[in-house]
Amino acid sequence: MDVIKSWDSLAMVKLDIDKAIAAHNAALATLKRNGAPIYSPEIQREHEVAAREKLTTELNQCRERAAAFHARAEAAVTAGRDDPYSWLSEAELQRAALLRPFIAEDVAATSAIDMTRYTSQVATGRRKLDRATAWLLMREVERVHDLPVETFERLAMPEAIATAEAEAQEAQRLVSRIGDVRPERMEQIHQNILRQANFNATGQLVGQ
């Protein structure tokens, strides 16, 4: 079964994470009045466990959706990177073929330090490149100088691959966030805060 529905999106996953957390916090808030529990300890615990289980279930569903988005986007990125010749149109490939000997000669004659400086100028927009030139530099700079070529890659990369890459990164951030807001993780953080609060700056128990 396909986890990703036609109407789903990472924005909706993020919204559902926020809704699940808000509903969990609201459920816990109804268990107290003026900061004091309104039920017996046993009943109070039952309600807390039910709220926790509901949040865990909803977060698991969100994680499954985010992971599916990540897998799909990563597959698109991998497929695109495996065929860099598909990045350029026929006209751009023809232009690249004409420019290649000149670009290769320039890159070979340029020191690694100067190439790094040039790359920085391109990254900041001080130098403009067309896609064919960026594509050639991406290949030649890595081959000759073994320097990072992400700047040239971003300029040469088709929008569809760049979009998929951004989606994969956003999906991974959501997966990480889900891990951070899980009840057990939040309880661990709370317990750590309480333990630290019992000690003063010198590491001595408060009140001892």
pLDDT single digits (tens) 130-151: 999 999 999 999 999 999 999 9
Position 128 pLDDT exceeds 90: yes
pLDDT tier for residue 206 given thresholds of 50, 70 and 90: low
Higher pLDDT, 202 or 162: 162
Position 155 pLDDT exceeds 60: yes
Mean pLDDT value across residues 1-16: 88
Lowest average pLDDT, out of 37-46, 65-74, 87-96, 120-129, goes to 37-46
Q: How far apart are CA 156 and CA 137, in angstroms?
A: 9
pLDDT at 184: 81
**Burial of residue 66 (number of CB atoms within 10 Å: 0-12, 13-18, 19+):** buried
Q: Say which residues have a Cβ less than 8 Å from residue 12's Cβ, sequence separation at least 6.
A: none
Residue type, 125: G
pLDDT at 190: 63
Q: Which of 78, 75, 63, 85 is nearest to 16 (CA)?
A: 63
For 64, half-sphere exposure in the C-beta direction (CA atoms, 13 angstrom radius) is 11
Residue type, 183: P
Q: Other CB atoms closer than 10 Å to residue 6's CB: what's the count?
A: 5
pLDDT tier for residue 188 given thresholds of 50, 70 and 90: confident
pLDDT at 35: 84
Mean pLDDT value across residues 179-192: 77
Token pair listed for 207: 């009140």
Q: How far apart are CA 75 and CA 108, in angstroms?
A: 34
Cβ–Cβ < 8 Å for 157, 86? no
Give me the count of residues in the chain.
208
Q: How far apart are CA 62 and CA 181, in angstroms?
A: 12
